[in-house]
Amino acid sequence: MRLQRFFYLSLGILSISSCGITKNATKQETSFDEGIKQIKHVVVVYMENHSFDNLYGEFKGANGIANAKKGNFLQVDENGKVYQYLPEIPRNNSFPTNLPNTFFNIDQFVPADKATPDVTHRFYHNQLQINGGKMDKFALYNDSKGLAMGYYNTEKLPLFPFAQKYTLCDNFFQSVFGGSYLNHVYMISAAIPTWPNAPTSLIAELDAQGKMVKDGIVTPDGYAINHVLSRNQPYPAKSDTSKLLPSQTMVTIGDRLTEKNVSWAWYSEGWDDAVAGRKNNFAYNHEPFLYFANYEEGTEGRKHMKDQNDFIKAAQEGTLPSVSFVKPGGGNDEHPGSSAVYSSEQLAVNLINAVLEGPNAKDALVILTYDEFGGFYDHVNPPVVDRWGPGSRIPAIVIGPFAKKGFVDHTQYETVSILSFIEHRWGIAPLAERDKKANPFKNALAFK
């Protein structure tokens, strides 16, 4: 018997001979699909328009601007000639006119508590900036020229402590090229809106190689890929409705969550004021469900569209739905041109702390990310998946008791990894191939 006991113990197994039962004494690691069931609340805080290098290029252990410098991604003009200096930043005298052709720290010229000019972030422009992976035309295809090469001091960012304490993803890409509207819609549907018979004036022109000749809102084959508002209310007063996008009918993650009786909401700052027709800071192109027929005025789906104040109240009271999307409004969303980085991130910190300090904290996961790169340079060439993207690399921070601590995750993710996570957690069928194949943050999470 002693020999038998020694044998079992050497395998990490305890033999209980009196009843003939053997029990594995080595604790088995919880699988991902089992572990995620411990997460009862997921909160997505969706900020605006910054590339990874622009905000976290100085983060220790991350693939940042130190690696970019090794690549010598000098910016070039339309003829492929290397600029001596970065092209002058127009209509702004805060920046010198002889910035070296490399990265530069924005804080030394415009403090992070002040807004910079906006930077060009459109569907075709994003691809031209990437330039087949050479990453050398961000300054050329940009209304703000050399500003595209600017970055912020990472350790001074209000969100830096969260990135340091939890998991920072440094290989996370916006799922589609271009700007805010398209990436918002894609994040909830994994689909590109269509606009058959769009006004001719809105249609882009391309050459035989598919390169942009004239920019536009709609591709020649009828996909709405650049900034456009929905015909569904609310939209700004005096809008020309003929130039607003008709309702879309693709399936969204909201539809699938509702079918599964999983509670959810999209919370936007300024929503209540926009619906009431009052002065507001609601960003009309940042409310993706507004573009879909199932969420028009008078529909049952409309009840899922709420104000950011409702989110804060729910977080404080411990009544968060299973899935929350939170969208700060204009002036508070970190969007260059209208928002300062510092104050916007302070709001994001407050939103996150409302969750972490609330009754739902013990089983909540917060994912903070950005809709897109905002036109700012990033040195990592995005993977090629399909015609739509992915686009540039953006920051993502995974926060909460299930996030790995003090970890930089180099795993490849993209915006629809958020969809993939929600689908895995609540047993929902993928909406499309992209979210089906996207990694659902498997390496960012740890379960006991």
What is the structure's pLDDT at 19? 40
3-state secondary structure 186-251: HHHHCCCCECCCCCHHHECEECCCCCEEECCCECCCCEECCCCCECCCCCCCCCCHHHCECCECCC
Tell me what the pLDDT averaged over the chain comes to. Answer: 93
Read off the pLDDT of residues 223-282 as tens digits, 9 standing for 90 and up: 999 999 999 999 999 999 999 999 999 999 999 999 999 999 999 999 999 999 999 999
What is the structure's pLDDT at 28? 55
What are residue 346's phi and psi, to 5 degrees?
A: -65, -40
| Count of Cβ atoms closer than 10 Å to residue 211 Cβ | 10
Query: pLDDT below 70 — which residues of the chain?
Result: 1-29
What is the structure's pLDDT at 357? 98
83: tokens are 């600029």
Q: Which amino acid is at 184?
A: H
What are residue 403's phi and psi, to 5 degrees?
A: -80, 140
| Count of Cβ atoms closer than 10 Å to residue 259 Cβ | 11
Percent of all residues in the chain with a pLDDT value above 70, rounded to a whole number: 94
CATH superfamily of 32-69+154-197+225-437: Alkaline Phosphatase, subunit A (3.40.720.10)
With H, G, I as helix, E, B as strand and everything else as coil, classify residue 20. Answer: coil
| Count of Cβ atoms closer than 10 Å to residue 153 Cβ | 15
Residues 6+ apart with CB under 8 A from 18: none
DSSP notation for 42-57: EEEEEE-S--HHHHHT
What is the structure's pLDDT at 70? 81
Q: How far is CA 220 from CA 190, 195, 204, in A?
A: 21, 10, 6
What is the structure's pLDDT at 149? 97
Task: Please check whether residue 417 is in contact with residue 438, taking contact to mean a CB–CB distance below 8 angstroms.
Answer: yes
What is the structure's pLDDT at 8? 35
Angle, CA of 232, 423 and 167, to the nearest 5°: 100
